Amino acid sequence: MRPTWFSVDLDALAHNIQAFRGLAAPAEVCMVVKADGYGHGASAVAAAALEAGATWLAVALVEEAAVLRDSGLIAPILVLSEPRPDEMSDVVGLGGVRPTLYSGAGVDAFASVADAGAPAHLKVDTGMHRVGARMDEAVAVARRILDSGLDLEGVFSHCAMADEPGDPLTTLQVERFDAVLAELAAAGIRPPVVHLANTATALSRPDAVHSMVRIGLGAYGVSPGPEMAGRCLSVGLRPVLSIHSRVTHLLDVAAGEGVGYGHRWRSVADTRLANVPVGYADGLTRDWGLGGTALVGGRRRPLRGVVSMDSLVVEVDEGVAIGDEVVLLGSQGDEEIGVAEVAERLGLIPWEFLSRLGRRPPRLYP
């Protein structure tokens, strides 16, 4: 087998969950494990999060909930968007999976296949303008859920600008959500599970923390934005994922020689290069090779030429040998390459970078 692997530090993930438990107490922690646990392996990180004190899991798709159930996890699972009507029987069959509801069709479809008293969550659009019931329709949808014989277990919304703490939209969304809760209460509707805060909001807006917080990126030890990095450091978040490979070939090129497809990099002097068997089929985008770095022998080394489908090239020196470990993400010696750094270099956001990681390299859980 090729010597390339993604290492997932479950102890670090547990530490991060415990940090959010302390930060948001007495609120419960819901671990967001959509997109295969942000590329970390959904079942493994979900199990570790639950053992560390998370009490809920959240996914984007019904099939993602099925993966968790198939792995033996029995915690409550929230599907964050309304399942299609023809998926509602699957939701029921999985047991303990809560659908998000916000349309009449969705309510009717779930009620037609679920037992009386089956729990569901109402999502309200307070400004994200993606999915959710309109604020002026929230009470009516909530009544429809209850009148259908279902249990309105939860109500929630999602903040669009929480990773930019100074943006006034977050304050407006907090106020709007509070107003919806007040309207529901005036109608005699008080769902026990209320959640607005995601990672960024939990870190920066105590007034947005209700009975549960939904933690995604922060659980994986990654800051949701440059302005939040200091806060992540202060609560002690630790990175969970690292990407490793080994040198499999060494070669010397003369000054003026091009390297890789398109010869996007040319040597200006005689140069020793190392080939490393990890590429864009593993999620490392072609342009990572143009300005990116890797750690070899505890030192940062520049990548040379575009990343190929199955390999990349690193500039090294005579001290590097075949078989030496190469770290593309993570730490080696006193050096560290973080998700935020790589994502910014590639013109991506951390969520995008992590969710693009390929499934070909094995995830190891040391």
Return the axis-axis angle of helices 138-147 and 104-113, rounded to nearest 10°: 20
CA dist 149 and 342 (Å) reads 49
Residue 280 annotated to the active site: no
CA distances from 242 to 15, 46, 121, 227, 245 (A): 16, 18, 35, 23, 10
Determine phi and psi for 220, rounding to 5 degrees. -90, 5
CA dist 78 and 56 (Å) reads 8
Please pick, among 102, 261, 280, 365, the residue that the annotation labels catalytic: 261
Match 């029987």 to its residue by tokens: 89
Residue 261 annotated to the active site: yes
Please pick, among 34, 102, 123, 280, the residue that the annotation labels catalytic: 34
3-state secondary structure at position 323: coil
CA dist 9 and 40 (Å) reads 9
Kindly state the DSSP code that residue 129 receives in the 8-state scheme.
-
Match 């005579």 to its residue by tokens: 318
Q: Residues with catalytic annotation?
A: 34, 261
